[in-house]
Amino acid sequence: MRFATGLVLIDAPASALNMLGIDESLPDRNVTRVKTLRRGGRRYPYVSPQAWRYWWRFTLKEYFKWELSPLFREQKQVFTAANPLKYPDDDVFGYMRAFKKGGINVSVTRISPLKNTPLISVLPDRSSLTVDEGYASRHEGDPVPYSQEFYSTIFKGAFSLDLESVGRFTLISKAGFKNLLTWDDIPKDKKGNPKKGTEEIAEEIKEMERLAKELGVQKTEKEWLMPPDIRKKRATDAIKALHLLTGGAKQTQYHTDVTPKFVLLLNIDAGINPFISNVVFEEGGEVKVDAGALASRLADIGDLIPEGAKLYLGYDKGFVKSLGWNVEEIRNILEGAEIMVSVGTVKKAVEDFAKEVEDYYG
């Protein structure tokens, strides 16, 4: 069991990357709000986890040529093809297709190997959020007033990629583990043949088996396992995409580079993430990093860090300078706790970490 974990900081100097929409509770109903959440007595802007995942998927499609799983609609549900052999995003991001076709239950679900938090503003709304009062006046007649919130802040997010689950598909009849349909899911007639009306489902299973044979999938009674080179590529592509992250709303008016400007990356032999919680925090209106707390936390889980694994710290010089952080000081504190640290640019940290992930698959 190994998880590639990480923390990212995204600089949003004047942005509105994920909007809530028009606030219907206000009398004039013309204020477009950003999403916020409350913690204690403060509110914090955030980018929803599904928005971050959408950016991530789009980046993999654009820069790594992933063929994304198509979307289908059945009644009130929208779902993907649920074909993790053909579509790498079904494999890495998981899926849920839960409905009946012709009276036959064709539900399959897959717990996403890639898990991520929302991107949450380090600064509370009172220190980061403002309202832009504007007027639409390109038409004839009186100008139309409107208002739109935007923020100037730094977003913090964490993720965890279950390396063991990538390319491994279970057939266990349990929510999240019934990844694929099998012949046992199709009702049989008295002669043991698939009943009429099940042709479409039978074709889906045949196609999945054809793909499995073509790709060299190892099959047992309870799971299918893709070849190491495919699992390796999917996992490392997902990690490398961080450096090229693309997306966000309102880019026309608030053009924002959403690639991370600071990352911490570490492999761990357990499903925990040491970067969630206050490693990076706000104090007196400033964004700070607590290297001592991080060192202590990592020392506590030292027996779960694989032998030879490093903590990769990637940073953008301009970003770190603007925060007044001393990276060498951070490195010294971490190394003082006997943590192996590799420091470089964000690109170098991501690429070096991806190599360590690659080695896991042999």
The pLDDT tens digits of the residues spanning 76-97 come to 788 999 999 999 999 999 999 9
Residue 164, pLDDT score:
97
Asked whether the predicted pLDDT for residue 192 surpasses 90, the reply is no
Give the torsion sign (CA, 175, 241, 65, 361): negative
Average pLDDT over residues 52-68: 98
Average pLDDT over residues 325-346: 96
Distance between alpha carbon 295 and the CA centroid of its chain, in Å?
Answer: 25
Asked whether the predicted pLDDT for residue 315 surpasses 80, the reply is yes
Residue 194, pLDDT score:
78
DSSP letters spanning 328-361: HHHHHHHHHTT--EEEE-HHHHHHHHHHHHHHHT
- Lowest mean pLDDT segment, chosen from 13-27, 144-158, 159-173: 13-27
DSSP letters spanning 194-207: BPTT-HHHHHHHHH
- Residue 119, CA distances (Å) to 35, 46, 75, 116, 259 in order: 11, 6, 32, 9, 13
Tell me the C-alpha distance between 248 and 256, whole Å. 8
Residue 273, pLDDT score:
96
Share of the chain above pLDDT 70, in %: 99
Average pLDDT over residues 118-145: 90
The count of C-alpha atoms lying within 13 angstroms of the C-alpha of 85, restricted to the half-sphere facing its C-beta, is 26
Residue 61 burial (CB count, 10 A): 16
- Beta strands 119-121; 168-170: pairing state: unpaired
What's this model's pTM, rounded to 2 decimal places? Answer: 0.94
Helix (H) or strand (E) holding 218: strand 218-219
- Structure confidence at residue 138 as a pLDDT band (50, 70, 90): confident
What mean pLDDT value characterizes the chain?
93
> Considering only CA atoms, which of 306, 281, 284 is closest in space to residue 292?
281
pLDDT in tens, 206-239: 999 999 999 999 999 999 999 999 999 999 999 9
Residue 73, pLDDT score:
85
Residue 254, pLDDT score:
94
Residue 339 burial (CB count, 10 A): 19
Residue 251, pLDDT score:
94
